């Protein structure tokens, strides 16, 4: 049990990568709160995890709004008296060519992916400092934060921003005992990527860009999040950890 008794909040924790992290953390003994916008899916995820853990609940809320984020953190503190791990996983991605990208679409990506990560990190870190908690904050970035993919200028920019935000947090919070790291997954099979996976004409050539020759699964990102949440990574902060089957290092 690598997270026995630890209190964790995972945003976007009802689906895909976030849900896999919630399951993995709960399996390792953590008390887990999941937050998100889709209440029916949050209920389903809580029900699934309740089958093996009694320490699970959800908070409905939208990470782009400061009052919602504060409510998430307050709910965790009210229930368990502390917060030790925050996973900023909530995110959106709706591709659009750069020349046609709408301002509203740009703003939406910035508000949810980047500002949401800032708001939740600040609110959680303030509580960690107040409670003298040696916390771990994990920001869900992407390989798109380290290299640019076409039709994703807004998404790429938010993930690049998350990487620098992570480093900035690590610089300022390190002396306070709080670590901040980013996870940069490659192509992971979730509802976000399902349209491409289900299109044989598109997925065939795409797989050739990945040295390991396959897409990843959410559980493989959850294992990396577990490492960053646990004491196994106790001397790591400000790191952007790439988990991508080798996609980013391949030139041809």
Q: Are 142 and 168 in contact (CB under 8 A)?
A: no
d(CA 189, CA 251): 23
**54: buried, middle or exposed (CB in 10 Å: 19+, 13-18, 0-12)?**
exposed
15 binds ligand NAD, rule: CB under 6 A: yes
Q: Is 37 in the site for ligand NAD (CB under 6 A)?
A: yes
| Of residues 101 and 146, the one with the C-beta less far from ligand NAD | 146
- Binder of ligand NAD out of 135, 160, 161, 185 (CB under 6 A): 185
Query: Is residue 235 flagged as an active site residue?
Result: no
Shortest reach from residue 175's CB to ligand NAD, in Å: 28
Q: Which is nearer to ligand NAD, 90 or 178 (CB)?
A: 90
Of 30 and 93, CB closest to ligand NAD: 93
Give the footprint of ligand NAD on residues 138-177 (CB under 6 A).
140, 142
Cβ contacts of 125-132, under 8 Å, gap ≥ 24: 125/169, 125/173, 125/176, 125/178, 127/73, 127/77, 127/82, 127/83, 128/83, 128/84, 128/176, 128/177, 128/178, 129/176, 129/178, 131/82, 131/83, 132/177
By CB under 6 A, residue 14 contacts ligand NAD: yes
Site string for ligand NAD, 81-110 (x = CB under 6 A): --------xxxxx-----------------
Active site residues: 155
């Amino acid at each position: 049990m690598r997270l026995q008794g630890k209190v964790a909040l995972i945003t976007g924790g009802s689906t895909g990568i976030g849900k896999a992290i919630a399951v993995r953390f709960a399996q390792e003994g953590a008390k887990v709160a999941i937050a998100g916008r889709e209440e029916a899916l949050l209920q389903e995820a809580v029900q699934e995890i309740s089958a093996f853990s009694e320490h699970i609940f959800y908070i409905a809320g939208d990470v782009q709004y400061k009052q919602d984020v504060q409510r998430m953190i307050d709910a965790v503190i009210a229930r368990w008296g502390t917060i030790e791990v925050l996973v900023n996983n909530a995110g959106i991605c709706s591709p659009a060519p750069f020349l046609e990208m709408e301002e509203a679409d740009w703003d939406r990506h910035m508000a949810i992916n980047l500002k949401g990560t800032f708001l939740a990190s600040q609110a959680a870190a303030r509580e960690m400092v107040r409670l003298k908690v040696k916390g771990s904050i994990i920001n869900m970035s992407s390989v798109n934060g380290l290299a640019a993919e076409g039709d994703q200028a807004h998404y790429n920019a938010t993930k690049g921003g998350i990487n620098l935000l992570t480093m900035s947090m690590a610089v300022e919070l390190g002396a306070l005992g709080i670590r901040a790291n980013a996870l940069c997954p490659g192509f992971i099979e979730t509802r976000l990527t399902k349209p491409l996976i289900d299109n044989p004409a598109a997925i065939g050539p795409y797989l050739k860009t990945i040295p390991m020759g396959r897409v990843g699964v959410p559980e493989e990102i959850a294992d990396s999040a577990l490492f960053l949440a646990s004491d196994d990574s106790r001397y790591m902060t400000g790191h952007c950890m790439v988990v991508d089957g080798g996609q980013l290092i391949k030139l041809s």
